Chains A and B, each alone.
Chain A
Amino acid sequence: MELVIIAAAIMLGLGALGAAIGMGLLGGKLLEGTARQPELGPMLQGKMFLLAGLIDAVPIIGVGIAMYLIFVVAPSVGA
């Protein structure tokens, strides 16, 4: 049971870590880009949201699987 919880913790933590780095780079580059060329702002923002959704997908899938592990798999393994 403990191993399942640890697996879920690693899943959540590393997923959040990767996504946070990605989001940070993405947001920083967006600000840089709009500071250089403000007229491209709306176009870049649209593309940023698309990429944010792509980055967001992997950790959120991880959250779903981790929740399933903690609340459904772990109790049945421990019992």
Chain B
Amino acid sequence: MAGENPASTTEYIQHHLQNLVYGNHPDTGWSFAHSAQEAAEMGFMAIHVDSMAWSIGLGVIFCTAFRFAALRATTGVPTGLLNFVELIIEFIDGSVKDSFHGSNKMVAPLALTIFVWIFMMNLMDLLPVDLVPSILGTVGVHFQKIVPSTDPNITMGMALGVFILMLYYSIKIKGTGFIKELTMHPFNHWAFIPINLFMETVGLLAKPFSLGLRLFGNMYAGEMIFILIAMMFAAGAGTGLVAGGLHAQLFGEHTSALFWLVIFVLVVGVCWMNLKGKISTGKTVLLSAIFMTLGGGVFALGGGLMQWSWAVFHILVITLQAFIFMVLTVVYLSMAHEEH
């Protein structure tokens, strides 16, 4: 964890913002990067293993869960997972019908995929920032970013996919009309063709660019604030039972990931018991506070509360950003289907 001096807080933040990179290093060949500098030296042909693994893994979970529900769909009253899936599908269907006016069977499934997939990727932000990286750290994985949408490669990649679809349908539906739209649009005269082409190209390229950058920026800023709160309150660790907690007494300066995992499981367990109605809310709060104070001391408890309140606000942001990405994709594709 971070100490008082600025050098190590900077290191802590930079460590959290570093992906697990696999690539061809000029000195060591094909291997995982051990530092940010090594990752930079690998150049263009390097892959962010963590972003790929988490995003593809979440995509597989989404596909299997929705397929599971789709195979069991009946005309009767749905329950549980089926109900949830039907709710999402009806919501997406409604939004697509509102803003898409062409005829294309692919747009609604695309919108569903984009919404649920981005929502799940953003949801990874709500897991405690240090939890997964420090658990993987004990088995020798040094860098781990578990929120794929804080990686510009993922968000710009998705925006590029949308851009290719926009171009494909523009050319397919409008044919030469698309060229006419690019060259004759604001000023309908042959002398203005270069100016028109420039303005329309900028407008066209700005769409995927802003789409990818908006999602990345929002998730990056949210992740940054989680990291800063974690850093601010971890600064007091290792100074006695009250401030540093049991953790500091047992392990001193070194962070033991398994210990944090035990505390996390205990707190989640208490909350789960409360949800199931086994214990009262007052007891839940008290037990969670005791576990967290024992685990990390008063500072960690304060940090936990701040993380929690930011996470509650962040639920709005992650849903809204997934929704906006979905709606804008549908609107852009709708524009590609309109003939003038």
Contacts and interface: CB of A to CB of B under 8 A. Distances in A.
B7 interface: yes
Contact of A49 (B220, B221, B225, B323): B323
Interface in B219-235: 220-222, 224-225, 228
Contact of B323 (A53, A56, A68, A71): A53
Interface of A: 49-50, 52-54, 56-57, 60-61, 63-64, 67-68, 71-72, 75-76, 78-79
21 contacts: A49-B320, A54-B324, A56-B218, A56-B320, A57-B217, A57-B321, A57-B324, A60-B222, A60-B317, A61-B217, A61-B220, A61-B221, A63-B224, A64-B221, A67-B225, A67-B228, A71-B13, A71-B228, A75-B6, A75-B7, A78-B6
B327 A50 contact: yes
Interface residues of B, number: 22
B214 interface: yes
A55 B238 CA distance: 43
Contacts of A78: 6
B9 interface: yes
Contacts of A57: 214, 217-218, 321, 324
Contacts of A79: 6-7
Nearest to B223: A64
Interface string B301-334: 0000000000000000100110110010000000
